[in-house]
Amino acid sequence: MSFPLPSSLSPSKVSSFKDCALAFRFSAIDKLPEPTSPAMVRGTLVHRALELLFWDEAAGHRTPAVAAEKLDQAWAEMQVDPEFVELALPVDDQTKFRDDASTLLDNYFAIEDPNAVNAIGTELYLEVDLGGVKLRGIIDRLDLTADGELIVTDYKTGKAPRAAYENGRLGGVQFYAFLCEQVLGRRPKHIQLLHLAEPVAIISTPTEQSIRGLEQRATAVWRAIERACEREDFRPKPSGLCDYCSFKAYCPAFGGDPSLVVRDAAAVPVAIPA
Ligand code: SF4
Protein backbone atom coordinates (compact mmCIF):
# COMPACT_ATOMS: atom_id res chain seq x y z
CA MET A 1 0.00 0.00 0.00
CA SER A 2 1.40 3.42 -0.90
CA PHE A 3 0.69 6.83 0.61
CA PRO A 4 -1.91 9.05 -1.14
CA LEU A 5 -0.44 11.90 -3.19
CA PRO A 6 -1.20 15.45 -2.08
CA SER A 7 -3.74 17.16 -4.32
CA SER A 8 -1.50 20.09 -5.29
CA LEU A 9 1.83 21.84 -4.81
CA SER A 10 2.24 25.35 -3.42
CA PRO A 11 5.42 27.32 -2.68
CA SER A 12 5.14 26.40 1.00
CA LYS A 13 4.72 22.69 0.22
CA VAL A 14 7.77 22.71 -2.06
CA SER A 15 9.86 24.35 0.70
CA SER A 16 8.41 22.00 3.31
CA PHE A 17 9.37 18.89 1.30
CA LYS A 18 12.87 20.19 0.66
CA ASP A 19 13.34 21.23 4.31
CA CYS A 20 12.22 17.87 5.72
CA ALA A 21 10.37 15.15 3.79
CA LEU A 22 8.97 13.63 6.99
CA ALA A 23 7.50 16.91 8.24
CA PHE A 24 5.99 17.37 4.76
CA ARG A 25 4.38 13.92 5.03
CA PHE A 26 2.91 14.69 8.46
CA SER A 27 1.47 17.99 7.22
CA ALA A 28 0.46 17.45 3.57
CA ILE A 29 -0.36 13.73 3.52
CA ASP A 30 -1.28 12.71 7.07
CA LYS A 31 -2.83 16.15 7.59
CA LEU A 32 -1.91 16.23 11.25
CA PRO A 33 -3.26 19.36 12.92
CA GLU A 34 -0.64 22.04 13.49
CA PRO A 35 -1.17 24.43 16.36
CA THR A 36 -1.42 28.02 15.28
CA SER A 37 0.86 30.68 16.77
CA PRO A 38 0.42 34.36 17.62
CA ALA A 39 2.94 35.24 14.86
CA MET A 40 0.91 33.39 12.20
CA VAL A 41 -2.39 34.92 13.27
CA ARG A 42 -0.83 38.38 13.53
CA GLY A 43 0.32 37.92 9.95
CA THR A 44 -3.26 37.18 8.93
CA LEU A 45 -4.42 40.37 10.68
CA VAL A 46 -1.83 42.58 8.94
CA HIS A 47 -2.51 41.00 5.54
CA ARG A 48 -6.23 41.70 5.97
CA ALA A 49 -5.63 45.34 6.98
CA LEU A 50 -3.45 45.87 3.89
CA GLU A 51 -6.01 44.14 1.69
CA LEU A 52 -8.69 46.53 2.98
CA LEU A 53 -6.37 49.51 2.44
CA PHE A 54 -5.90 48.68 -1.25
CA TRP A 55 -9.36 47.28 -1.92
CA ASP A 56 -11.46 50.00 -0.28
CA GLU A 57 -9.31 53.09 -0.74
CA ALA A 58 -8.28 54.81 -3.97
CA ALA A 59 -4.75 56.12 -4.46
CA GLY A 60 -4.36 59.42 -2.62
CA HIS A 61 -6.37 58.16 0.37
CA ARG A 62 -4.02 55.45 1.61
CA THR A 63 -2.52 57.18 4.63
CA PRO A 64 -1.17 55.74 7.90
CA ALA A 65 -4.31 57.04 9.67
CA VAL A 66 -6.57 55.24 7.19
CA ALA A 67 -4.43 52.11 7.51
CA ALA A 68 -4.99 52.28 11.29
CA GLU A 69 -8.76 52.35 10.64
CA LYS A 70 -8.39 49.26 8.41
CA LEU A 71 -6.51 47.56 11.22
CA ASP A 72 -9.43 48.37 13.55
CA GLN A 73 -11.82 46.79 11.04
CA ALA A 74 -9.59 43.71 10.58
CA TRP A 75 -9.23 43.43 14.37
CA ALA A 76 -13.02 43.46 14.80
CA GLU A 77 -13.37 40.73 12.16
CA MET A 78 -10.66 38.69 13.87
CA GLN A 79 -12.56 38.38 17.14
CA VAL A 80 -14.58 35.49 15.63
CA ASP A 81 -11.71 33.97 13.64
CA PRO A 82 -11.30 30.36 14.92
CA GLU A 83 -7.49 30.60 14.83
CA PHE A 84 -7.52 33.78 16.91
CA VAL A 85 -10.05 32.30 19.31
CA GLU A 86 -7.86 29.17 19.62
CA LEU A 87 -4.96 31.31 20.83
CA ALA A 88 -7.06 32.34 23.86
CA LEU A 89 -4.77 35.30 24.52
CA PRO A 90 -5.11 37.04 27.90
CA VAL A 91 -6.09 40.72 27.66
CA ASP A 92 -2.52 42.02 28.12
CA ASP A 93 -1.24 39.70 25.40
CA GLN A 94 -4.05 40.80 23.10
CA THR A 95 -2.93 44.40 23.56
CA LYS A 96 0.66 43.50 22.66
CA PHE A 97 -0.55 41.40 19.71
CA ARG A 98 -2.55 44.36 18.40
CA ASP A 99 0.30 46.83 19.01
CA ASP A 100 2.78 44.60 17.18
CA ALA A 101 0.40 44.41 14.21
CA SER A 102 0.13 48.20 14.28
CA THR A 103 3.95 48.53 14.22
CA LEU A 104 4.16 46.19 11.20
CA LEU A 105 1.56 48.28 9.42
CA ASP A 106 3.45 51.50 10.22
CA ASN A 107 6.65 49.88 8.95
CA TYR A 108 4.93 49.15 5.65
CA PHE A 109 4.86 52.89 4.92
CA ALA A 110 8.67 53.01 5.32
CA ILE A 111 9.04 50.58 2.40
CA GLU A 112 6.71 52.03 -0.21
CA ASP A 113 4.11 54.73 -0.84
CA PRO A 114 0.78 52.93 -1.33
CA ASN A 115 -0.59 55.98 -3.17
CA ALA A 116 1.94 55.36 -5.95
CA VAL A 117 0.67 51.80 -6.41
CA ASN A 118 -1.96 50.77 -8.98
CA ALA A 119 -3.21 47.55 -7.39
CA ILE A 120 -5.36 45.48 -9.77
CA GLY A 121 -5.89 42.54 -7.45
CA THR A 122 -5.41 41.38 -3.87
CA GLU A 123 -5.34 37.85 -2.42
CA LEU A 124 -5.41 36.39 -5.95
CA TYR A 125 -5.71 32.60 -6.12
CA LEU A 126 -3.83 31.21 -9.14
CA GLU A 127 -3.67 27.58 -10.22
CA VAL A 128 -2.14 25.79 -13.20
CA ASP A 129 -1.83 22.19 -14.31
CA LEU A 130 1.78 21.17 -14.95
CA GLY A 131 1.86 17.71 -16.48
CA GLY A 132 -0.79 16.33 -14.15
CA VAL A 133 0.24 18.18 -10.99
CA LYS A 134 -1.68 21.24 -9.83
CA LEU A 135 0.52 24.17 -8.85
CA ARG A 136 -1.27 26.79 -6.83
CA GLY A 137 -0.54 29.91 -4.86
CA ILE A 138 -2.13 33.08 -3.51
CA ILE A 139 -0.62 36.40 -4.56
CA ASP A 140 -1.03 39.04 -1.85
CA ARG A 141 -1.17 41.90 -4.34
CA LEU A 142 -0.83 42.34 -8.11
CA ASP A 143 0.07 45.80 -9.44
CA LEU A 144 0.03 47.27 -12.93
CA THR A 145 2.66 49.90 -13.68
CA ALA A 146 2.10 52.96 -15.92
CA ASP A 147 3.97 51.20 -18.72
CA GLY A 148 1.78 48.12 -18.51
CA GLU A 149 4.09 45.84 -16.50
CA LEU A 150 2.91 43.49 -13.74
CA ILE A 151 4.46 43.55 -10.25
CA VAL A 152 3.73 40.79 -7.72
CA THR A 153 3.92 41.76 -4.05
CA ASP A 154 4.17 39.31 -1.17
CA TYR A 155 3.99 40.65 2.40
CA LYS A 156 6.13 38.93 5.01
CA THR A 157 5.38 39.62 8.65
CA GLY A 158 8.04 37.37 10.18
CA LYS A 159 11.74 38.12 10.21
CA ALA A 160 13.60 38.30 6.88
CA PRO A 161 15.28 34.95 6.13
CA ARG A 162 18.85 34.31 7.13
CA ALA A 163 21.15 33.83 4.14
CA ALA A 164 20.87 30.04 4.45
CA TYR A 165 17.13 30.16 3.85
CA GLU A 166 16.94 33.13 1.49
CA ASN A 167 17.29 31.07 -1.69
CA GLY A 168 14.32 28.95 -0.61
CA ARG A 169 12.21 32.06 -0.14
CA LEU A 170 13.24 33.40 -3.52
CA GLY A 171 12.32 29.99 -5.01
CA GLY A 172 8.79 30.77 -3.81
CA VAL A 173 9.03 34.06 -5.67
CA GLN A 174 9.80 32.26 -8.93
CA PHE A 175 6.80 30.06 -8.23
CA TYR A 176 4.57 33.16 -8.21
CA ALA A 177 6.19 34.41 -11.40
CA PHE A 178 5.52 31.09 -13.09
CA LEU A 179 1.84 31.07 -11.99
CA CYS A 180 1.44 34.64 -13.19
CA GLU A 181 2.92 33.88 -16.60
CA GLN A 182 0.82 30.76 -17.06
CA VAL A 183 -2.52 32.16 -15.83
CA LEU A 184 -2.29 35.80 -16.93
CA GLY A 185 -0.15 35.22 -20.01
CA ARG A 186 2.52 37.67 -18.92
CA ARG A 187 5.69 37.34 -16.90
CA PRO A 188 5.79 39.91 -14.08
CA LYS A 189 8.53 42.51 -14.33
CA HIS A 190 9.36 42.21 -10.62
CA ILE A 191 8.38 40.16 -7.63
CA GLN A 192 8.84 41.96 -4.34
CA LEU A 193 8.89 40.50 -0.87
CA LEU A 194 8.04 43.25 1.62
CA HIS A 195 9.47 42.21 4.99
CA LEU A 196 7.53 44.44 7.36
CA ALA A 197 9.40 43.61 10.57
CA GLU A 198 12.79 45.01 9.45
CA PRO A 199 11.39 46.78 7.28
CA VAL A 200 13.08 45.80 4.02
CA ALA A 201 12.09 44.91 0.45
CA ILE A 202 13.71 42.03 -1.44
CA ILE A 203 13.09 42.52 -5.15
CA SER A 204 13.61 39.82 -7.73
CA THR A 205 13.42 40.07 -11.53
CA PRO A 206 12.14 36.84 -13.07
CA THR A 207 13.76 35.75 -16.31
CA GLU A 208 12.94 33.11 -18.90
CA GLN A 209 15.73 31.02 -17.42
CA SER A 210 14.62 31.44 -13.79
CA ILE A 211 11.03 30.51 -14.63
CA ARG A 212 12.04 27.45 -16.64
CA GLY A 213 14.32 26.51 -13.74
CA LEU A 214 11.36 26.75 -11.37
CA GLU A 215 9.28 24.59 -13.69
CA GLN A 216 12.01 21.93 -13.71
CA ARG A 217 12.49 22.08 -9.94
CA ALA A 218 8.75 21.86 -9.25
CA THR A 219 8.48 18.85 -11.56
CA ALA A 220 11.49 17.24 -9.86
CA VAL A 221 10.01 17.84 -6.39
CA TRP A 222 6.71 16.34 -7.52
CA ARG A 223 8.48 13.23 -8.92
CA ALA A 224 10.36 12.90 -5.61
CA ILE A 225 7.07 13.15 -3.70
CA GLU A 226 5.55 10.48 -5.97
CA ARG A 227 8.51 8.17 -5.32
CA ALA A 228 8.37 8.79 -1.57
CA CYS A 229 4.64 8.02 -1.56
CA GLU A 230 5.09 4.83 -3.59
CA ARG A 231 7.86 3.62 -1.29
CA GLU A 232 6.31 5.06 1.88
CA ASP A 233 9.73 6.56 2.46
CA PHE A 234 9.73 10.07 3.94
CA ARG A 235 12.93 10.65 5.87
CA PRO A 236 13.56 13.09 8.71
CA LYS A 237 16.10 15.84 8.05
CA PRO A 238 17.02 17.39 11.40
CA SER A 239 17.97 21.07 11.27
CA GLY A 240 17.36 24.30 13.12
CA LEU A 241 13.78 24.12 11.84
CA CYS A 242 13.11 21.22 14.25
CA ASP A 243 12.80 23.85 17.01
CA TYR A 244 9.59 25.04 15.34
CA CYS A 245 8.28 21.62 14.20
CA SER A 246 4.88 20.51 15.52
CA PHE A 247 5.56 16.83 14.85
CA LYS A 248 8.50 15.98 17.11
CA ALA A 249 6.35 13.52 19.05
CA TYR A 250 6.21 11.31 15.93
CA CYS A 251 9.72 11.98 14.62
CA PRO A 252 12.33 9.20 14.97
CA ALA A 253 15.06 11.85 15.20
CA PHE A 254 13.48 12.76 18.55
CA GLY A 255 12.56 9.24 19.68
CA GLY A 256 9.07 9.25 18.08
CA ASP A 257 7.38 6.63 15.91
CA PRO A 258 5.73 7.74 12.63
CA SER A 259 3.76 4.48 12.44
CA LEU A 260 1.61 5.77 15.33
CA VAL A 261 0.22 8.58 13.17
CA VAL A 262 -3.50 8.44 12.50
CA ARG A 263 -3.92 9.89 9.01
CA ASP A 264 -6.47 12.63 8.44
CA ALA A 265 -7.46 12.56 12.11
CA ALA A 266 -8.00 16.29 12.36
CA ALA A 267 -9.51 15.91 15.80
CA VAL A 268 -6.51 14.07 17.23
CA PRO A 269 -4.16 16.61 18.78
CA VAL A 270 -0.41 16.20 18.31
CA ALA A 271 1.29 15.69 21.65
CA ILE A 272 4.30 17.96 21.65
CA PRO A 273 6.83 17.01 24.32
CA ALA A 274 7.74 19.82 26.69
S1 SF4 B 1 11.43 17.34 14.15
FE2 SF4 B 1 12.86 17.97 12.52
S3 SF4 B 1 13.48 16.06 11.49
FE4 SF4 B 1 11.64 15.62 12.70
S5 SF4 B 1 9.92 15.86 11.30
FE6 SF4 B 1 10.19 17.83 12.34
S7 SF4 B 1 11.57 19.03 11.02
FE8 SF4 B 1 11.71 16.87 10.39
CA distance 37 to 169: 20
Instruction: Please check whether residue 237 lies inside any domain of the structure.
Output: no
Instruction: Please check whether residue 63 lies inside any domain of the structure.
Output: yes
Predicted structure pTM score: 0.86
Cβ of 24 less than 6 Å from ligand 1:
no
pLDDT score recorded for residue 131: 82
Instruction: Please check whether residue 8 lies inside any domain of the structure.
Output: no
Per-residue pLDDT, averaged over 34-49, amounts to: 95
CA of 204 to the centre of ligand 1 (A): 30
Per-residue pLDDT, averaged over 198-219, amounts to: 91
Which range is least confidently modeled, 36-50, 66-80, 206-220? 206-220
Cβ of 242 less than 6 Å from ligand 1:
yes
CA of 99 to the centre of ligand 1 (A): 33
Indicate the pLDDT class of residue 173, thresholds 50, 70 and 90: confident
In this predicted structure, the answer to whether residue 18 has a pLDDT above a threshold of 60 is yes
The angle formed by the CA atoms of residues 6, 251 and 172, to the nearest 5 degrees, is 45
Cβ of 20 less than 6 Å from ligand 1:
yes
Ligand 1 atom at shortest distance from the alpha carbon of 236: 3
Indicate the pLDDT class of residue 214, thresholds 50, 70 and 90: confident
Cβ of 248 less than 6 Å from ligand 1:
yes
Indicate the pLDDT class of residue 171, thresholds 50, 70 and 90: low
Instruction: Please check whether residue 76 lies inside any domain of the structure.
Output: yes
Cβ of 249 less than 6 Å from ligand 1:
no
Instruction: Please check whether residue 52 lies inside any domain of the structure.
Output: yes
Domain boundaries, position 75: 38-115
CA of 249 to the centre of ligand 1 (A): 9
Ligand 1 atom at shortest distance from the alpha carbon of 237: 3
Tally of domains in the chain? 1
In this predicted structure, the answer to whether residue 239 has a pLDDT above a threshold of 60 is yes
Instruction: Please check whether residue 70 lies inside any domain of the structure.
Output: yes
Q: Which residue of 251, 270, 272 sits with most ligand 1 atoms within 8 Å of its CB, as the best mutation to test the pocket?
A: 251
In this predicted structure, the answer to whether residue 273 has a pLDDT above a threshold of 70 is no
Q: 141 — phi, psi (to 5°)?
A: -155, 140
Ligand 1 atom at shortest distance from the alpha carbon of 19: 7
Average pLDDT value over all residues in the chain: 90
33 vs 170, higher pLDDT: 33
In this predicted structure, the answer to whether residue 153 has a pLDDT above a threshold of 60 is yes
Instruction: Please check whether residue 77 lies inside any domain of the structure.
Output: yes
Cβ of 18 less than 6 Å from ligand 1:
no
The residue whose CA has the least distance to atom 7 of ligand 1 is 242
CA of 63 to the centre of ligand 1 (A): 43
pLDDT score recorded for residue 270: 43
Indicate the pLDDT class of residue 245, thresholds 50, 70 and 90: very high
- DSSP per residue, the chain: --PPPPS-B-HHHHHHHHH-HHHHIIIIIS-------HHHHHHHHHHHHHHHHHHHS-TT---HHHHHHHHHHHHHHHTT-HHHHHH---HHHHHHHHHHHHHHHHHHHHH--GGG--EEEEEEEEEEEETTEEEEEEEEEEEE-TTS-EEEEEEE-SPPPPHHHHHHHHHHHHHHHHHHHHHHSS--SEEEEEETTTTEEEEE---HHHHHHHHHHHHHHHHHHHHHHHHT------SGGGGG-TTGGG-GGGT--GGG--TT-TTS------
Instruction: Please check whether residue 74 lies inside any domain of the structure.
Output: yes
* Cβ neighbourhood burial of 246 (10 Å; 0-12, 13-18, 19+): middle
